[in-house]
Structure 1
Amino acid sequence: MGWNRWYSLKSYLRSSLWAVPLMAVAIYAVVKPLTEMLGRWMIRQAILDPKTGFLGLSMTGARSLLGDIVSADLGFLVFTFGSLLVAIQVAGGQYTPRIIATTLLRDNVIRSISGLFVFTMLFADRTLGWMGENEVHQLQVFIAAIFGFASVVAFLFLIDYAAKSLRPVSLVARVGKHGMAVIESVYPAPTSGASIPLESDKERSVPNRIVLHRGESGIVLAVNLERLVAKARRTDSVIEFVPQVGDFVAVGEPMFHLYGNSGAIDEKRLRTLVAFGTERTMEQDPMFAFRILVDIALKALSAAINDPTTAVLAIDQVHRLLRVVGQRSLHIEEIVDRSGQVRVILRTPNWEDFVHLCFCEIRQYGGGSIQIARRLRAAIENLVQCLPEHRHDALRVELALLDRTIVSMFSFPEDLALARIPDSQGLGGSATSTAHD
């Protein structure tokens, strides 16, 4: 299996709810025979009385207990998956569909509890069917009772957890947390000043060879940079990856530009170092977290929902992530090997791209809300204060556009003056307040 297929498979399994319950079935297939062997051994050693044992249950009591456990766990599973389908519809309609695969279906708490329900149901059902007419397998009944009790506790916890996790503040906080991890992995170095245009762009204006995309059209999920660098070093060449991570690439479009000893590179193996999928993921795509948060803000600002407070919550996370991005070195297009020789060229978003994504659409759709105007101003002014000088130009442009937007939106001088006050809460905070990480 090539790296691209392995990566796509891992990404699919991370967002698949059935993966953990299936693992629970495999665990059950291993644990159940072991417990049966242990129970037989304990009976032979006279440690366990099959009629009294741990619980002292009769055949009728044991069958009744196991039947109740099977019924309860089956009901828990039906309720869990039914509620999750409703939650997916609500979250997709009220927030953004992009939050489903990236957040809801990747929730390990929900998946683990579902796996517990599956394991307990199978274990109790097998124990119920394995018991004879006169023999109560006390050890298996005891284990099933323990897992049954754990299932009840987990179910009660799941109801509380699901109710809290679907709140806007919880969803945007989780997206912000994932986005922070991606930013730190993609941009590990701190910024050292204004970026300098690459001199090598002029030297490599005409590639020696162009590798086109084959197979199926899709979105670029990730690129194996380490293997690309190693391949370019072995062949003494330079490999340029044409699209960005997150771009849609159709069949026949350029995927690589090769410079130098390009004839020594195998196209088929080169294509296996790029993973494609049907939907963007966050692993190597720092812009996607911003995209999700901005989409949540835009949906909240729509006339159908009209919830600017939720938009403010999204702006809080956008502000937090943008401050971290502004402190990182974004100019990493040229990737070198150990000797310092340029081997791979990979396009990444620049500072202006991040600023435009964070503010343009929210300002366009929320400029008529005093709450949004004040929160945007507080974010921009705070970024100007805490980020290096070379990050200020794009922010000042957005601040000027915000001023022009609110002038066109508010006809009353009192509203206009109120909208020009920076407020990290939108409305309700101190006029001199600034946002903190």
Structure 2
Amino acid sequence: MGDWMTTGGPRAGRRPRALSPLREHLRDTFWFAPTAAMVLVGVAWTVAADLDTEIVEALQDAGDYDAVKELLRFADDAKTVVTVVSSAMMTFIGVVFSISLVAVQMASGQFSPRVVRIFVRSRITKATFAVFLATFLLSLLVLTSYDGEPDPRLVTSVPLVQSIMTLFMVALSLLLFVMYVNQTLRLMRVGHVVDRITSESFRVVQHMPAALALGAAEDLGPETAQVAHQGRAGVLRDVNIARLVRAARQQGVVLRLIPRIGDFVVPGTPVLAVHGGPAPSRRALRYTVSVGVERTFHQDLGFGLRQLSDIALRALSPAVNDPTTAVQALDRIVQFLAALARRPLDTSLHRDRQGAVRLVQPVPGWTELVDLGFAEIRGCAAQSPQVTRRMMAGLDDLLPAVAEERREPLLRHRELLVQAVERTVTEAADLAFALLPDRQGIG
């Protein structure tokens, strides 16, 4: 069944913690951070209002009415600033929203619709929207706290702490706006986009189980049951590994995930095979499989290569004709494949705390990853010597980095690339030039 992987690596017997699917799903949403920020600022405003009331009462009890008058004068000056802030923040929010829409539209058209999620997951973008909305809400709340009573002996509260907090939020908003514009401009450049995709892909690799030599699939025992998907149709985004391992341990069975992460599943499709006993209850398996409208990086090893390949294909299309972008995507494809060159693939095993295998999860194999990275680009690159030279160099770099049994797909793509260029290029000099390995394409 191919190479095996397991969560129980040799490092001091530590068991890596699986990433939380809930956290990853929240990162793929845009509403959570602004909503949480507005709730927190509401709580902070309540605390600040209580402090302002206590400060005024303490000064009145001490008979220091001159200090109360100073606070009232400060409040009058601060009110003007807070009023301006409340009206200006909506303008800022509109500007940020417009910049985001333009950036997303350009990235989707120039690179690939799959890269839109980079903007959605951007922490700076979410933080900017969250702080701007929180500042606007805070300014409105502060304006409701101003007391029109001019007599220092009768005034009940002066928004001193609230005004200072508003000014702090304004300063933070300005800082985040500068950072947001800088990052948005960076993400509109292909080099930073492919770098971000590659970083996300390596994060998936880092959380994959470490390799151990184990037995064959027959050690799981005979298949005793299957669990069908009962939810909506969609892409299998991820599975809750910890919950599945716990359900299998409690039932005394081994669960095997049938589709791979990224596969499209429909209701009634078998998603889990059970080995060694009856299937766990529906309650135990609740919320263990997440299905959505698009793939995510969370547990999908091939999604990064899919995006890099899409960017290269878009760049090689006649409408764009940008082989340099395709070369930049190929750089990262070679980098990613080189990192996986000697890593066991095909299957991932997850163990419980006692070391027993409880979940078997299929992952893409080496041949599938190489095909994903090179097949489509090779089919469109025959007329672009810059891309063919870079692909030849990439394949030549990967060949000595892999074991003998993994060289076949690399040699196959190299031979097919040579054949495609020979069919396209008729001049001998141009043919030799197009097939000359060059890590810069045409430096």
Q: Same fold (TM over 0.5)?
A: yes
CA contact (8 A) 1:95 1:299 kept: yes
* Distance change (3 Å), C-alpha of 1:337 and 1:159: closer
**Correspondence for 1:152 among 160, 167, 174:** 174
**Correspondence for 1:90 among 106, 113, 120:** 106
* Distance change (3 Å), C-alpha of 1:385 and 1:70: same
Aligned-pair CA distance for 1:336? 5.3
Aligned-pair CA distance for 1:281? 0.8
Corresponding residue for residue 70 of structure 1: 86
Residue 305 of structure 1 aligns to which amino acid in structure 2?
V
Aligned-pair CA distance for 1:339? 6.4
CA contact (8 A) 1:359 1:398 kept: yes
TM-score (norm 2): 0.85
* 1:302-313 matches, cutoff 5 A: 302-313=317-328
Corresponding residue for residue 389 of structure 2: 374
Residue 348 of structure 1 aligns to which amino acid in structure 2?
V
Write the distance in 2 (CA, Å) between the matches of 1:84 and 1:203.
53
Residue 82 of structure 2 aligns to which amino acid in structure 1?
L
The SS at the match of 1:303 is coil
Corresponding residue for residue 250 of structure 1: 266
Write the distance in 1 (CA, Å) between the matches of 2:43 and 2:379.
58
Write the distance in 1 (CA, Å) between the matches of 2:69 and 2:321.
65
Aligned-pair CA distance for 1:335? 4.8
* Distance change (3 Å), C-alpha of 1:198 and 1:83: same
Aligned-pair CA distance for 1:84? 1.0
The SS at the match of 1:49 is helix
Residue 280 of structure 1 aligns to which amino acid in structure 2?
R
* Distance change (3 Å), C-alpha of 1:411 and 1:66: same
The SS at the match of 2:271 is strand
* Distance change (3 Å), C-alpha of 1:58 and 1:123: closer
Ranked by relative contact order (alpha carbons within 8 Å, sequence separation 6 or more), the top structure is 2
Q: Does 1:219 align with 2:238?
A: no
TM-score (norm 1): 0.86
CA contact (8 A) 2:346 2:366 kept: no
The SS at the match of 1:117 is helix
Corresponding residue for residue 15 of structure 1: 28
* 1:50-69 matches, cutoff 5 A: 50-53=68-71, 57=74, 59=76, 61-69=77-85
CA contact (8 A) 1:73 1:151 kept: no
Write the distance in 2 (CA, Å) between the matches of 1:189 and 1:269.
28
* Distance change (3 Å), C-alpha of 1:197 and 1:306: farther
Write the distance in 2 (CA, Å) between the matches of 1:382 and 1:415.
23
CA contact (8 A) 2:334 2:394 kept: yes
Residue 77 of structure 1 aligns to which amino acid in structure 2?
I
Write the distance in 2 (CA, Å) between the matches of 1:9 and 1:338.
22
**Correspondence for 2:226 among 210, 213, 218:** 210
Write the distance in 2 (CA, Å) between the matches of 1:197 and 1:41.
70
Residue 199 of structure 2 aligns to which amino acid in structure 1?
K
* Distance change (3 Å), C-alpha of 1:111 and 1:51: farther
CA contact (8 A) 1:406 1:416 kept: yes
The SS at the match of 2:29 is coil
Number of residue pairs the alignment of both structures matches: 413
Aligned-pair CA distance for 1:179? 0.2
Q: Does 1:186 align with 2:208?
A: yes
* Distance change (3 Å), C-alpha of 1:233 and 1:410: same
Listed one character per residue, the Cα deviations across residues 319-352 of structure 1 (whole Å, up to 9, x for unaligned) are 1111111121114355555666554332221100
Q: Does 1:231 align with 2:247?
A: yes
**Correspondence for 1:43 among 41, 44, 56:** 56
* Distance change (3 Å), C-alpha of 1:50 and 1:231: same
Q: Which runs of 5+ in 1 are unaligned?
A: 1-5, 429-437
Corresponding residue for residue 132 of structure 1: 147
Corresponding residue for residue 164 of structure 2: 142
CA contact (8 A) 2:243 2:285 kept: no
Q: Does 1:288 align with 2:329?
A: no
